[in-house]
Structure 1
Amino acid sequence: MGSTKKGILSVLAAAILWGSSGVCAQYIIEQGQVPSPFLTMTRLLLAGPILLVIALVHGDKVFAILKNRKDIIRLLVFSLFGAMIVQLTFLLAIEHSNAATATILQFLSPSIIVTWFALVRKKRPGGVLLVAIITSLAGMFLLVTHGDPTSLSVSHAALFWGIASAFAAAFYVTYPPKLISRYGTLPIVGWSMLLGGLMMVPFYAGKTPDFVVNLRLSLAYLYLVLFGTALTFSLYLKGAQVIGGSKASVLSCAEPLSSALLSLLLLGVVFTFHDWVGTFLILSSVVLISMDSRRSLSA
């Protein structure tokens, strides 16, 4: 098998695992009665060190960033507003809706990034990007209203946390490139998760919420941490290095699709015609933005 095919398969596998991890998180929250903030904290505290160990195995200089005070501050900012907030808002969106809806709303982030850079540069987006933004907004409208602007098909809390998750994801993507170029992706992501988890520890100092523990929930939690976090990052990074970021972005659209299908099959979540059309429009906007980025790079 050629390296390109391996790269494609790696990114697809990562996207599917990410999608399944959202479904897994929904199962834990609903069946285990685990509060989203507590699940966020423990997931970060476990996944962070795992990624750092993987980084060490890969030969990355994991502790190099600790020697630079300015970069430590940047890392702390990324840990708080990136790793912690993006995970927390995503799980809260799941808690108030479902994994599929939360994942799809988070995929509004590429349109948010494009709009933000257009405002900062005071330059109107090109035709393709403008269509992508309009398409994503139309998709969100169908997803949350089912075509009726006088009512919402999801709760206000689900809509708020879903959009917050999209903004957090946009920050997560755009803030750390300089840190990543200096120290590598795995060390930065690993440290940010560990530090983000540690920032939440004071809120649970001396108290642990009551939740259900059994074999199925324990296995689901291990899957969420090991496969839904550590393995997915390794697979995605490996694949993206081979096929490039634009193609990887398009293939990552398998994440919300897998989340929707697994939610339907495993959790009995019902997706209406409007939901599927809204999902298609939002994912189409991601494809359009990726195509425009690739065209810009080749121009």
Structure 2
Amino acid sequence: MPTLSSTSPSHHRTTHLRGLVEVAAASVLWGTGGLAVQLIREQDRLSPVTISAWRMAIAAAVLLGALLALRRGGELLELARARPRQLVVVGVGTAAYQGFYFVSVTQVGVAVSTVVSLGLAPVLLTVAESVRHRRAPARGRLTVLVAALAGLLLVSVAGHESATGPAPVAGVLLAVASGTTYALTTAAGGSISRTTSPLALTSGMTLVGAAVLLPCLALVDGPRVTTGPAALAWLAYLGVLTMALAYVLLYSGLRVVAPSTAVTASLVEPVTAAVVAAVVLGESLGPAAVVGILLVLGAVAGLGRPAAAAGPVLPDPDPDRG
């Protein structure tokens, strides 16, 4: 006799909430990355591109080690054989949108780069999903999206009021490229995650990303390696937690939440960065930032209601997974 446990509305709601928590947890880890980069650059003046390359390479090494230890290397080989182009797209896209963002920050400042790149992705994916399903987003979804974007704007501007850049037009264009690439990469990763394990997908993505970024070290100024124990420890933190673990969580969440829901939930990242800066570095949180944080957190909490999620609620492709 068939059971209803894997198809009932309550089961869908439970898996949706689990996926949302996984994406939010990934975003919290990403939000601590800025502090780690700052602490590394206090030890050695490594460029953001150099840090990104080693972060990706460390993540790839750790994930490959995990696959081999678990005797699951065959999953990565099967993924590479079955969907090579999609895997390359996700790996190159992940490296690209991070690179676009870092360069955008140098040209137009953190506030504008963050608002444009992170704010554009949920809008693009919400519109794309509405076109694909031939219906306008529900009022609850639009409310969640508007609240999240308003909160992002307040947090970013309040936290970086004095940030400027030498080439604002180029910086905005790079931020648009970052947000667009982020949206496309998240959608592609969500598609692959439905048919493969998050561990195998993240391993393949970081291998491709490392292959793209490591050759770029020949083009950057400044040191390409560091020997400082503190800097090495923070690099390990970036690779293991903010890349390897965070993306496993993201791709696990994308199995049961729509890409537009995931990128909306990922706005927890700048909120985390602001809170970490206040707690660790003693930076003050003004009233605007506090309101922005509450708006983002309220919006992400609203995503927990399937009717207000920024995209369709997806069934779990593997309800028996642990």
* TM-score, normalization by structure 1: 0.72
2:228 aligned with 1:214, yes or no? yes
Q: How do 1:63-74 residues align onto structure 2 when only pairs under 5 Å count?
A: 63-68=77-82, 71-74=83-86
Structure 1 unaligned blocks of 5 or more: none
Q: How do 1:115-154 residues align onto structure 2 when only pairs under 5 Å count?
A: 115-119=127-131, 123-143=135-155, 154=163
Superposed displacement of residue 33, structure 1: 1.9
Matches of 2:238 and 2:115, distance apart in 1 = 15
Identify which range, 156-165 or 118-127, moves more after superposition. Answer: 156-165
Superposed displacement of residue 29, structure 1: 3.8
Aligned residue-pair number = 282
2:209 aligned with 1:196, yes or no? yes
2:75 aligned with 1:59, yes or no? no
Matches of 1:258 and 1:204, distance apart in 2 = 29
* Aligned residue number for residue 184 of structure 1: 197
> Is contact 1:24-1:224 (8 Å) kept?
yes
Matches of 1:221 and 1:275, distance apart in 2 = 29
Q: How do 1:92-103 residues align onto structure 2 when only pairs under 5 Å count?
A: 92=103, 102=114
Q: How do 1:252-271 residues align onto structure 2 when only pairs under 5 Å count?
A: 255-271=269-285
Matches of 2:245 and 2:157, distance apart in 1 = 36
> Is contact 1:180-1:188 (8 Å) kept?
yes
2:62 aligned with 1:46, yes or no? no
Superposed displacement of residue 24, structure 1: 0.9
Change (3 A) 1:193 1:289: same
* Aligned residue number for residue 229 of structure 1: 243
Residues 118-164 of structure 1 deviation map (CA, whole Å, 9 limit, x = unaligned): 34555322211222333234334434556xxxx96543567666665
| Counterpart residue type for residue 212 of structure 2 | M
Superposed displacement of residue 234, structure 1: 4.8
Alignment partner of 1:106 out of 98, 115, 118: 118
> Is contact 1:52-1:62 (8 Å) kept?
no
Identity %: 19
| Counterpart residue type for residue 222 of structure 1 | A
2:182 aligned with 1:169, yes or no? yes
Matches of 2:312 and 2:71, distance apart in 1 = 32
2:35 aligned with 1:23, yes or no? yes
CA RMSD of aligned residues (A): 4.2
> Is contact 2:156-2:270 (8 Å) kept?
no
* Aligned residue number for residue 88 of structure 2: 76
Superposed displacement of residue 270, structure 1: 3.7
* TM-score, normalization by structure 2: 0.67
* Aligned residue number for residue 155 of structure 1: 164
Change (3 A) 1:34 1:220: same
> Is contact 1:21-1:224 (8 Å) kept?
yes
| Counterpart residue type for residue 215 of structure 1 | P
Please identify which structure carries the higher helix content.
Answer: 1
Change (3 A) 1:213 1:272: farther
Change (3 A) 1:194 1:63: same
Q: State the SS of the aligned residue for 2:309.
A: helix
Matches of 2:77 and 2:236, distance apart in 1 = 27
Identify which range, 161-170 or 181-190, moves more after superposition. Answer: 161-170
Matches of 1:166 and 1:127, distance apart in 2 = 24
> Is contact 1:48-1:193 (8 Å) kept?
yes
Residues 145-191 of structure 1 deviation map (CA, whole Å, 9 limit, x = unaligned): 56xxxx96543567666665443332232112332333322222221
Matches of 2:243 and 2:52, distance apart in 1 = 12
Matches of 1:253 and 1:203, distance apart in 2 = 29
Residues 198-235 of structure 1 deviation map (CA, whole Å, 9 limit, x = unaligned): 12333334877327652222221121112322234456
Matches of 2:210 and 2:266, distance apart in 1 = 26
Structure 2 unaligned blocks of 5 or more: 1-13, 315-322
